[in-house]
Structure 1
Amino acid sequence: MLPSLTAAEERLLLRSADPEAAPVGEDLSAKTLSALLDNAEFHGILPIMLRKLQESGDAQLPRDAGLRDRLEDLRQKATIATGQSMLLQYHGDRIMKGLAADNVPARIVKGPVFARKLYRNVADRPFTDIDILVEPANLARANRVIAACGFELGSNEAESYELQEFK
């Protein structure tokens, strides 16, 4: 169960969620920071909070060994998520170049676009997939280009055409 927050802690969480707001500089107890981290993870703002904690410096963090171990683990996972996002961006770019070369109109939407356009630090908005919009009439051509880039359809083909969503 998600730890509940006081009104003051909710304001801290909201400030932590704002990528442009100053890092939280207050002294926090291990219990409060742990609850904030749980809530940040649940609400998808953990990367922003971790960056801000890093910017504030570890000297201001509680001296709780368990909390510091958890922070180290979360930071490693955030680094991996950033790397995965970079790899996805690379493959998305490859696919888009292939689609353009075959004159298949397409656009990448959501994840990498949001990360690039809405966040000063792209690592604040990791993503786990690449969504490419293609007109239904061009799906077969787009799928051939994507296959030529080394990807295989991971879902049922007939169902994918019915849903117009290919994985």
Structure 2
Amino acid sequence: MLPPLTPAEEKLLLRYADPEAPTVDVDNLPAKTLMSLLDNAEFHGVLPIMLRKLSGDAQLPSDQELRDRLENLRQKATIATGQSMLLKYHGDRIMKGLAADNIPARIVKGPVFARKLYRNVADRPFTDIDILV
């Protein structure tokens, strides 16, 4: 079950979810609040943006469980970015093959959204390639 957030925490999550919003100061946030925010960010698909904004550990509470969780989530995010890069590579190969056979097609969603809607492509990982033929 997803941990509930207070209205103030919901506003904070929205700031973390906005790729263009400035980094949020978390100096006075308890570790439990940050853990709840991470759970909600993961559920809503904005975790990569939040992790990018939490990249400086100096401002985080010195809670080992929180730091371990962040390390685990960062490793998963790195893997997701690598998988997205691999999918993009294979999608490009497929598109070249289709073009060589004069088959009209376009890649839609995932990598297109990542490239066109996000300044940091890693903010929008994807898990498949959708090709409209």
Quickly name the TM-score band, shorter chain normalised.
Answer: over 0.9
Q: By how many angstroms is 1:92 displaced?
A: 0.2
Q: By how many angstroms is 1:25 displaced?
A: 1.1
- For residue 48 of structure 2, what is the amino acid of its counterpart? P
Whether 2:60 is the aligned partner of 1:61: answer: yes
Aligned to 1:142: none
Q: By how many angstroms is 1:24 displaced?
A: 1.0
Aligned to 2:87: 88
Kindly indicate whether the alpha-carbon contact (under 8 Å) linking 2:26 and 2:60 is maintained by their aligned counterparts in 1. no
Q: Which has the higher contact order (CA 8 A, sep 6+)?
A: 2
Normalised by the length of structure 2, the TM-score is: 0.98
Aligned to 1:30: 31
Q: By how many angstroms is 1:110 displaced?
A: 0.3
CA RMSD of superposed structures (Å): 0.5
- For residue 5 of structure 1, what is the amino acid of its counterpart? L
- 1:50-129 mapped onto 2 (5 Å cutoff): 50-54=51-55, 57-129=56-128
Bigger radius of gyration among the two: 1
- For residue 47 of structure 1, what is the amino acid of its counterpart? P
Q: By how many angstroms is 1:26 displaced?
A: 2.8
Aligned to 1:14: 14
Kindly indicate whether the alpha-carbon contact (under 8 Å) linking 2:2 and 2:40 is maintained by their aligned counterparts in 1. yes
After TM superposition, the structure 1 stretch with the greater mean CA deviation from structure 2, 38-47 or 19-28, is 19-28
List 4+ stretches of structure 1 deviating above 4 A.
none
Aligned residues: 132
- Per-residue CA shift, 1:52-98, capped at 9, x if unaligned? 101xx101001000110010000000000000000000000000001
Determine helix, strand or coil for the equivalent of 2:3: coil
Normalised by the length of structure 1, the TM-score is: 0.78
Aligned to 2:44: 43
Unmatched 5+ stretches in structure 1: 135-167
